[in-house]
Amino acid sequence: MLTFVLKQMPRHAFAGISPAMMQGVTTTLAQIQQRVLQYVGPETFLVGHSLENDLRVLKLVHLKCLDTAILYPHAKVRSFTCLHVNQ
């Protein structure tokens, strides 16, 4: 599911999203959080790579994560756990 979300100060140059792609977007962060929480409950395991980044952007905390960035760390990249991500 690919959905663009309104942001107060979009950083198009860093996100790879052009201003043209954002025209007509009305979806808010709160709406996306509600969509995610329809599928993810307290007992759901999240599996992914660098989940802390996704959770930080979504402003969600989830304690049951299997993060491949931690399981298979890269020697030159420091990774953090997805626990306690709230900002």
- Measured between alpha carbons, how far is 68 from 21 in angstroms, rounded to an integer? 30
Q: For residue range 55-85, what is the model confidence (pLDDT) as tens digits? A: 998 999 999 988 888 877 666 655 554 444 4
Nearest-angstrom CA–CA distance, 87 and 85 = 6
62: buried, middle or exposed (CB in 10 Å: 19+, 13-18, 0-12)? Answer: buried
The two counts, helices (H) then strands (E), for the chain are 5, 2
Q: How confident is the model at residue 14 (pLDDT cuts 50, 70, 90)?
A: low
Q: Which two tokens stand for residue 81?
A: 């756990």
Give pTM, 2 decimals: 0.64
Answer whether residue 87 shows pLDDT above 50: no
